[in-house]
Chain A
Amino acid sequence: MITLSNIQVTFETGSQSVIAVQDVSLHVDAGDVYGIVGYSGAGKSTLVRVINLLQRPTAGSVEVNGQDLLALQPKELRSARKKIGMIFQHFNLMNSRTIYDNVDYPLKSSKLSKSERDQKVKQLLELVGLSDKLNAYPSQLSGGQKQRVAIARALANDPEILLCDEATSALDPKTTLSILELLKKLNQTLGLTIVIITHEMQVVKEICNKVAVMEAGRIVEQGDIVSIFSRPQNTLTRDFINTATHIDRTLEKLTLHPSLVHLKDNDMLCKISYIGDSTSEPVISELTARYRVKTNILYANVEILQQTPIGNLIVVMSGSTSDLKEALHYLQAAQVNVEIIDSGLLQNSKVGDPV
């Protein structure tokens, strides 16, 4: 659906040139909800603008819907853009037009008759749940409502792709969720391919099936969401995931308040993580029953990503050295990842290391 190859974007500011996007290649399939995540200045907004050529790349190729966009004449490019909807962080509605006229704007250059257009506008506003606001002006709406209007407007020409540039970053968490729900619905009912730019892993977690992590103009990691979330390779990716699961903050709190943990000589503070099937096995109780290892759960979190549960626990395991060793082997065999954070017994060692 979308294929970017070796995209490079360089901005010339006087004598200096700033490289915003560097050698980025990515592929989005039809029906994907593709997240591009990164901190401010990572080049993600520039990258998403390359997809509809609001930003022309300095080098590389852009293929959307099987068309090489860079080879198109201005007029052809404009009609190609009608098939790529876009929504923005600050909604960018026209303040001098009513909600109805805002949604009607992209239809005026279409071939539809006046009554067909009227029907289309009403149908779109119903789709986003704003049928009662036809004659209101954007200044009379809340942020979430404005974004809904923007979505209706972006969908007016029946695009197959929707680009979202920080579309929820100006919204509160509850409104963010309702907008994401709407996008999810559009993805499922209309088969809309969605590309989402965000700095919030929470957003990616909620709706994306694939994700790319950007840093300093490059994609440092990309893949399907379950494998990225369960086995992040890059430090930045881990950072992002931890902000979404809050596990880092929990660990920080625990280290700041050692009294919460009460580690004794034979205790181990561990982070346990598992994906999918392991959840159905009562791993923790097995530890106690079979290996006589007592397990105190300090923190637990289960995420469901694309119908796959991903669990993270912080536990204190206590038992004799040999019991603990056996327990660790058992966990390993059960496809559960164990990271030892603090232990008087196994200083700085990892599972699998010779103990």
Chain B
Amino acid sequence: MSEFFTKYFPNVWNLREDILISTYETIYMVVVTSLLSVLFGILLGVTLVVVDRGGILENRLIYSVLEKIINLFRSIPFIILIAVVVPLTRLITGTSIGMNAAIVPLVIGIVPFYARQIQNALVEVDPGIIEAAQSMGSGPIEIIFRVYLKEGLTGIIRASSVTIINLIGLTTMAGAIGSGGLGSLAINKGYNRFQSDITIVATILILILVFVCQFIGDYFTKKSTH
């Protein structure tokens, strides 16, 4: 095994510990950002749906304000967003470099995208079902938790797996602020030092992560469809 690596991937064998750490860092960033984004994204997505025209808590003002904020953040390229939110990053994490610091721009970058996906998933819920729930005396909270989030579950799962795959892409860019992870490994150790075997291995590892997420997402999508 090690002979094969020393022959064809000499640098990979030498930097095997770095590769493991980078993989861990990427997974860490993806998991923590995902958890936070699911929380904020669903909150925001649900809010968009219920305050929209004809929604159960219609409020045009809140809707247009939220929509503008989301559009604004979605328009900023992520690599620039990282730099723009540095003051906030410092405020929250006390530092502007490293894994934890990267989570702040990652959450800000992914939540608007995810919220839109959630909104799209929830507007797919048949308005007739919402109306039926209202006719049975369900209040807004009950409709959100017992109807929207339940009936829209398949869409939410699909949106989540798309978002997480997107997020894996963003974590590689977070290397720009020294977040670590497979992205910065591929650039700093692979590309900049002409160790292309490192770049290839980093790429393969990221692809594996993406495939695993896709697989899990598909599995749960299928399971939640009746």
Which residues does A use to contact B, with CB under 8 Å? 52, 54, 74-75, 78-82, 84-86, 88, 90, 92-97, 105-106, 108-109, 137-139, 150, 153-154, 156-157, 163
Contacts and interface: CB of A to CB of B under 8 A. Distances in A.
Contact of A84 (B135, B142, B150, B224): B135
Interface string B150-168: 1101100000000000000
A137 B132 contact: no
Given A96-B153, A96-B226, A105 B134 contact: no
B204 interface: no
Given A94-B150, A94-B151, A54 B135 contact: yes
Interface stretch (B1-9, B107-115, B123-131, B213-221): B123-131
A170 to B, nearest CB: 12
Nearest to B132: A92
A54 B224 contact: no
Given A94-B129, A96-B226, A78 B150 contact: no
B11 interface: no
A54 B151 contact: no
23 contacts: A54-B134, A54-B135, A78-B139, A81-B136, A84-B135, A86-B132, A86-B135, A88-B131, A90-B126, A90-B128, A92-B131, A93-B129, A94-B147, A96-B150, A96-B226, A105-B146, A106-B137, A108-B146, A109-B137, A137-B226, A153-B136, A156-B136, A157-B137
Interface residues of B, number: 21
A160 to B, nearest CB: 14
Contacts of A94: 129, 147, 150-151
Contacts of B153: 96
B138 A78 contact: yes
Label chain B's interface by main secondary structure: helix
Contacts of A52: 135
A274 to B, nearest CB: 42
Contacts of A137: 226
A150 B132 CA distance: 9
A88 B130 CA distance: 12
Given A54-B135, A90-B126, 9 more contacts: A84-B135, A85-B135, A86-B132, A92-B126, A92-B131, A93-B132, A96-B154, A105-B146, A109-B142
Contacts of A97: 150
B226 A95 contact: yes
Given A78-B138, A79-B137, A94-B147, A139 B226 contact: yes
Contacts, number: 69
A85 B136 CA distance: 7
Contacts of A93: 129, 132
Given A81-B136, A97-B150, A88 B128 contact: yes
Contact of A92 (B128, B137, B138, B226): B128
A79 B136 CA distance: 9
B23 to A, nearest CB: 36
A54 B226 contact: no
A54 B142 CA distance: 16
Given A95-B151, A96-B224, A157-B137, A54 B146 contact: no
B58 to A, nearest CB: 12
Nearest to B149: A96
Contacts of A92: 126, 128-129, 131-132
Contacts of A154: 135-136
Contacts of B126: 90, 92
A16 to B, nearest CB: 16
A36 B104 CA distance: 59
Contacts of B147: 94
A252 B226 CA distance: 50
B137 A81 contact: yes
Contacts of B137: 78-82, 106, 109, 157
A157 B138 CA distance: 12
Nearest to A89: B128
Nearest to A86: B135
Contacts of B146: 105, 108
A270 to B, nearest CB: 48
A174 to B, nearest CB: 24
Contacts of A153: 132, 136
Nearest to B150: A96
A146 to B, nearest CB: 12
Contacts of A138: 226
Contacts of B150: 94, 96-97
Contacts of A86: 132, 135-136
B92 to A, nearest CB: 37
A82 B136 contact: yes
Contacts of A139: 226
Nearest to B224: A96
A79 B135 CA distance: 10
- Which of B132, B147, B224 has most chain A Cβ within 10 Å? B132
A74 B135 contact: no
A84 B135 CA distance: 8
Contacts of A163: 135
